[in-house]
């Protein structure tokens, strides 16, 4: 369980084109302590068969921003199906940066399709 001074992050990836969770997507979590500070690698995970990363480490004290970077190209290449090849994936990765506050939990889902994506703060 996180202490009141730490924030936590979870995510899941849904393949909206296929109508199912996106399994085996690599996810990197990085943090910084101010808007102009550099990013520090914090943790990595991979989505499970339900498209979820349930095991990301709590954020360190002092973190003010978090970045989730999803390596979606391998997943999109595996699931290309009948899409015409375009010399690789349109989105090799998706990076989502958001502000964090101590004691909060941030669930940030990624809704993914071959040529578009959206994210939101979930619960």
CATH at residue 60 = 2.60.40.180
Q: Is residue 32 part of a domain?
A: yes
Q: Is residue 2 part of a domain?
A: no
Instruction: List per-residue pLDDT tens for the chain, 123 residues long.
Output: 455 678 999 999 999 989 999 999 999 999 999 989 999 999 999 999 999 999 999 999 999 999 999 999 999 988 876 555 555 578 899 999 999 999 999 999 999 998 899 999 998
Q: Measured between alpha carbons, how far is residue 60 from residues 3, 4, 11, 101 in Å?
A: 11, 12, 18, 11
Query: What phi and psi, each to the nearest 5 degrees, are found at residue 78?
Result: -65, -30
Q: Is residue 3 part of a domain?
A: no
Q: Classify residue 62 by its DSSP letter.
A: T
Q: What is the model's pTM?
A: 0.90
Query: What does the pLDDT read at residue 81?
Result: 66
Taking the alpha carbons of 95, 32, 34, 38 in that order, is the dihedral positive or negative? negative
Residue with tokens 């899941």: 12
Residue 54: both structure tokens together: 């349930």
Q: Is residue 1 part of a domain?
A: no
On whether the CB atoms of residues 45 and 102 are closer than 8 A, the answer is no
Query: What does the pLDDT read at residue 4?
Result: 61
Look up the domain containing 20 and give its range: 8-119
Q: Is residue 61 part of a domain?
A: yes
Q: Measured between alpha carbons, how far is residue 112 from residues 18, 87, 107 in Å?
A: 9, 19, 16
Name 8's Cβ contacts closer than 8 Å, sequence gap at least 6. Answer: 2, 56, 58, 59, 104, 105, 106
Side-chain-side CA neighbours of 2 within 13 Å: the count stands at 19
């Amino acid at each position: 369980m996180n202490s009141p001074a730490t924030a936590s992050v979870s995510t899941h990836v849904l393949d909206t084109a296929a109508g199912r969770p996106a399994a085996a997507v690599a996810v990197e979590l990085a943090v910084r302590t101010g808007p102009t500070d550099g990013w520090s690698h914090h943790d990595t995970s991979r989505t499970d068969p339900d498209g979820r990363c349930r095991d990301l480490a709590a954020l360190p004290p002092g973190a003010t921003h978090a970045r989730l970077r999803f390596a979606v190209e391998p997943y999109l290449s595996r699931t290309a199906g009948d899409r015409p090849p375009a010399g690789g994936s349109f989105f090799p990765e998706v990076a989502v940066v958001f502000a964090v506050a101590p004691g909060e939990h941030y669930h940030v889902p990624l809704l993914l399709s071959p040529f578009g994506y959206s994210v939101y703060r979930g619960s």
